[in-house]
Structure 1
Amino acid sequence: MFFTYLRRELRRRRKAALVVASGLALGIALVIIVSSVSTGMSKAQDKVLESLYGLGTDMTVTKAAAAPGSGGTERPRFEFDAKDDEDETQSTDRVMVQGFQTLAATTVGKVGQTDGVADAVGGLSLTVMKVDGQFRRGEFKQDQSSGQGGQGGPGGGQGGGNGQPQGRVEGGGASFDVNSFTVYGTDVTQQDLGPLTSSKITKGRTFKATETDAKVAVVDSAYAKEKELAVGKTVTVSGTKYSIVGVSTADSGDAAANVYIPLKQAQTVADSKDKITTVYVQASDSQAIDTVKAAIQKNISGTTVTTSADLADTVSGSLSTASDLASSVGKWLSIVVLAAAFLVAGLLTSSAVSRRVREFGTLKALGWKSGRVTRQVIGEALVNGLMGGVLGIAIGLAGAYIVTAVSPTLTAQLGSTGGGRGGMGGGPMGGGGPGRQAASKTLDIALTAPVSLTTILVAVALAVAGGLIAGAFGGWRASRLRPADALRRVA
């Protein structure tokens, strides 16, 4: 009897049911779209951060560079030998530690012994500046029109009437190219942590655990294309040739470094034996990162511990703006629309009950209890809510699909946290790490809107809740009706 009456009433009041279902569908669809876009924003930010510090890294430990003139970083100086052959190319390299002071390699062990640290690995960030070119001799041109006592001397200075030919030197000078690239010394025995994890080996292979001091290298695909490098060729770092065993491609399109070599080799070319610039740390519990950070700073004085959350604060641009809008304005808009949909559904259901006074009054006169009438109204509202849920899920999925298909490009501007030459203390976790030549960097990220099963379940729960709320309005109104009301309407 319940379902028969329910089916008949829903068919008879299709327009009213459609209005209630459509209102709920709009609110539920908006919740799904905003939730999926927020998830896409979060994944985009995670992708940006992973491109900087590598997958699995929760924080880095560095030591800020000393101020110029205080025994810290000096301006690079290049010296060239005098050569008789002017056509011979002059070339020299300068390897510099990038961004900050070095730490003792034993710091890795100290960090690893801190409570809450699951793993720690050290790395050395270097910048190689290469200057090469040629000196050209000038050519003396005699001034045929000048006489004695005029301009004299090979350089065109004042002559003294000494009978020497008058003239000037033309041409000559120097033409040099200055190129720089970044090198990252990686611990080949622990490759699951650090900047190299943000790239995938697309050609060749990665390092072997036994190649701790081997002259081998992995190069970034963009740098390899620019310099026409490939697996089997060599790359030269400060006069040392390294055999290229692999080519890596960064997940975000921006590599942590141009060239990766074993840590010991990086220490050798930089004349920094047993030194590192960065310790990459993975916490055993993601909820205890702040506690681990405080413990490391307390146990190892003079260092800067920077978490991924610290770096996230430096992300600006359209990605940050859109993320803020999705998390604040979007969520509040969803709540307001959903609440309005629930309220409208409840009022419409209550209004429909008011128009059915004779019907419910007659049913009560025939022996229906108030509870039975209330259950009938709630059942109708619940079905309307489920219809709205199905429609809302369909609209929400369509909206999320459109966002993913369009894939709007968002810009992430990575600023400096003040610790070094970029974010995360200037190391590979930030804009000033390997491969970064400035304190800030811009990345383009395509936005997606993935819809999770949890979001669908939330939508179903909202649909049921909307139906129950609307049914509660109508049921309360129906429970107050009396058979006498129906008789008065008939009269």
Structure 2
Amino acid sequence: MFFTYLRRELRRRRKAALVVASGLALGIALVIVVSSVSTGMSRAQDKVLQSLYGLGTDMTVTKAAAAPGSGSGRPKFEFDAKGDDDATQSSDRVMVQGFQTLASSTVTRIGGQNGVAGAVGGLSLNVMKVDGQFKRGEFKQDEGAAQGGRSGPGGQGGTGQPQGEVRGGGASFDVNSYTVYGTDVTEQGIGPLTSSKITKGRTFKTSETDAKVAVVDSAYAKEKKLDVGKTVTVHGTKFTVVGVSTADSGDAAANLYIPLKQAQTLSDSKDKVTTVYVKAADSQQIDQVKSAIQKNISGTTVTTSADLADTVSGSLSTASDLASGVGKWLSIVVLAAAFLVAGLLTSSAVSRRVREFGTLKALGWKSGRVTRQVVGEALVNGLLGGVLGIGIGLAGAYLVTAISPTLTAQLGSSGGGMGGPGGPGRAAASKTLDIALTAPVSLSVILIAVVLAVAGGLIAGGFGGWRASRLRPADALRRVE
């Protein structure tokens, strides 16, 4: 009886039911789209942070570079005097980049802190190479002196010196600067190299702690025509390229990766590192781990992904703020309005069915049965609105993903003037990444939509049921004109 009457009433009042369902569908669809876009924003920000940190890294520990003294920090290049004309000269300097060095023992101390699952050190270097040649000039005698115009003995003028000038000659040198990063090959699950994929060759073996091997970034390899099997010379040491990596974000942490011990040898930084990459045992304890490291390891700067996220600006940050602020509040307002309208429409429908409910009560229907009938109709309307809302929301999320609008993420400098606390080889100036926005829809969002649909139906049914339960048969029949 209940379902028969329910089906008949919904069919008879399908226009009103469609209006109620459409209002709920609009609110639910907006919630799905905003939630999906917010998830896409969060993933985009994670991708940006991984381009600096590397997958699996929760925080970095560094020590700010000391203020440069007078004339300090400037590389000096010396060239040997060679007798050959046009002889090629070459010299390079390997310098620690960005931060003061920390003792390698600091890595062990940090790894022993409570809440730390792993810690690994790295050494960021900058190599500046100058090569070219000197060209000897030629002495050209003055034409007047060459034609016999002499004012002194030997045609040398009154000063006794040959009259003329040196022409030609000079120097032509190229300056090539690139970044090298010393990585701990025994612990490759943390650090900036994890944000890149090996596209050719292989990565380091754990046994190659002091081997003369290198992994080169794909962009740098293309520029310098490097490939697997070729060699690259750094400060007189030849390294064999064993792999080519491509950064997920399109911007690598360094041009060249070599084993940490080799980097320490090249830069005369034995048992030194510039950055310690830390992985927390629990993502909920990152703040506690940060506080413990700052307390126990004096003079260091600990930067988490949350700290780094504050430096991200550009359209990604703006859109994220809109999605989390305006978008969510707009969803709440629209959803609340949809619930209110559904409740008012249902209550209004009850008012128009006064004779019907009065007659049913006169025939023996109790107030509870009338209320359940009204709530049942409203619940079906809510579920119908949920189905429509989920469909519209999925279509909207798919449209955002299909369009994939490009957002820019500008990373401001932080941590010692570098483009991120964990970014070896990054320039001091900010850089910009282009991120394609997607709107992934998770199962939890669908479940939220179903809950909202049921809640909307119950709220609307509550309005109407309360109104219907207050009707008395005599009063209801008396109010009918």
Bucket of the pairwise TM-score, normalised by the shorter protein: over 0.9
Is the contact made by 2:124 and 2:425 (CA closer than 8 Å) also made in structure 1? Answer: no
Is the contact made by 1:92 and 1:130 (CA closer than 8 Å) also made in structure 2? Answer: yes
SS of structure 2 residue aligned to 1:191: coil
Per-residue deviation at 1:255?
1.1
Kindly, what percent of the aligned residue pairs are identical? 86
Confirm whether residue 48 of structure 1 aligns to residue 48 of structure 2: yes
- The equivalent residue for 1:354 is 351
- The equivalent residue for 2:38 is 38
Per-residue deviation at 1:163?
6.4
Is the contact made by 1:148 and 1:162 (CA closer than 8 Å) also made in structure 2? Answer: no
Aligned match of 2:191 in 182, 190, 194? Answer: 194
Per-residue deviation at 1:177?
1.2
Per-residue deviation at 1:174?
1.5
What one-letter code is carried by the residue in structure 2 that aligns with 1:4?
T
Aligned match of 2:457 in 455, 467, 470? Answer: 467
Confirm whether residue 106 of structure 1 aligns to residue 79 of structure 2: no
Per-residue deviation at 1:482?
2.0
Cα RMSD of the aligned pairs, angstroms, is 1.8
Question: Structure 1 CA distance, aligned partners of 2:318 and 2:120?
Answer: 34
Question: Structure 2 CA distance, aligned partners of 1:391 and 1:233?
Answer: 60
- The equivalent residue for 2:437 is 447
SS of structure 1 residue aligned to 2:216: strand
Residues 300-347 of structure 1: CA distance to partner in whole angstroms, max 9, x if unpaired? 111111111111111111111111111111111110010011001111
Q: TM-score, normalised by structure 2?
A: 0.95
Is the contact made by 1:423 and 1:439 (CA closer than 8 Å) also made in structure 2? Answer: no
Is the contact made by 2:79 and 2:89 (CA closer than 8 Å) also made in structure 1? Answer: yes
Distance of aligned partners of 1:90 and 1:481 in 2 relative to their CA distance in 1, 3 Å threshold: same
Per-residue deviation at 1:435?
3.4
Per-residue deviation at 1:80?
1.3
Is the contact made by 1:235 and 1:243 (CA closer than 8 Å) also made in structure 2? Answer: yes
- The equivalent residue for 2:143 is 144
Distance of aligned partners of 1:76 and 1:458 in 2 relative to their CA distance in 1, 3 Å threshold: same
Is the contact made by 1:357 and 1:485 (CA closer than 8 Å) also made in structure 2? Answer: no
Is the contact made by 2:102 and 2:274 (CA closer than 8 Å) also made in structure 1? Answer: yes
SS of structure 2 residue aligned to 1:61: strand
Aligned runs of 1:43-442 on 2, under 5 Å? 43-69=43-69, 74-145=73-144, 161-162=158-159, 164-424=161-421, 429=422, 433-442=423-432
Distance of aligned partners of 1:364 and 1:415 in 2 relative to their CA distance in 1, 3 Å threshold: same
Question: Structure 1 CA distance, aligned partners of 2:165 and 2:432?
Answer: 51
Per-residue deviation at 1:160?
5.7
What one-letter code is carried by the residue in structure 1 that aligns with 2:83?
D
What one-letter code is carried by the residue in structure 2 that aligns with 1:367?
G
Question: Structure 1 CA distance, aligned partners of 2:92 and 2:284?
Answer: 45
Is the contact made by 1:86 and 1:134 (CA closer than 8 Å) also made in structure 2? Answer: no
- The equivalent residue for 1:29 is 29
Question: Structure 1 CA distance, aligned partners of 2:70 and 2:119?
Answer: 30
Residues 263-314 of structure 1: CA distance to partner in whole angstroms, max 9, x if unpaired? 1000011111111111111111111111111111111111111111111111
Is the contact made by 1:349 and 1:474 (CA closer than 8 Å) also made in structure 2? Answer: yes
SS of structure 2 residue aligned to 1:311: helix
Distance of aligned partners of 1:6 and 1:60 in 2 relative to their CA distance in 1, 3 Å threshold: same
Question: Structure 1 CA distance, aligned partners of 2:50 and 2:449?
Answer: 31
Per-residue deviation at 1:437?
2.1
SS of structure 1 residue aligned to 2:168: strand
Is the contact made by 1:194 and 1:280 (CA closer than 8 Å) also made in structure 2? Answer: yes
Distance of aligned partners of 1:232 and 1:270 in 2 relative to their CA distance in 1, 3 Å threshold: same
Per-residue deviation at 1:422?
2.8
Question: Structure 1 CA distance, aligned partners of 2:470 and 2:142?
Answer: 119
**Which stretches in structure 1 are left out of the alignment for 5+ residues?**
154-158
What one-letter code is carried by the residue in structure 2 that aligns with 1:347?
L
SS of structure 1 residue aligned to 2:382: helix
Question: Structure 2 CA distance, aligned partners of 1:10 and 1:321?
Answer: 45
Is the contact made by 2:125 and 2:425 (CA closer than 8 Å) also made in structure 1? Answer: no
Q: TM-score, normalised by structure 1?
A: 0.94
Aligned match of 2:470 in 468, 474, 480? Answer: 480
- The equivalent residue for 1:156 is none
Question: Structure 1 CA distance, aligned partners of 2:151 and 2:418?
Answer: 59
- The equivalent residue for 1:8 is 8
Per-residue deviation at 1:460?
0.4
**Which stretches in structure 2 are left out of the alignment for 5+ residues?**
none
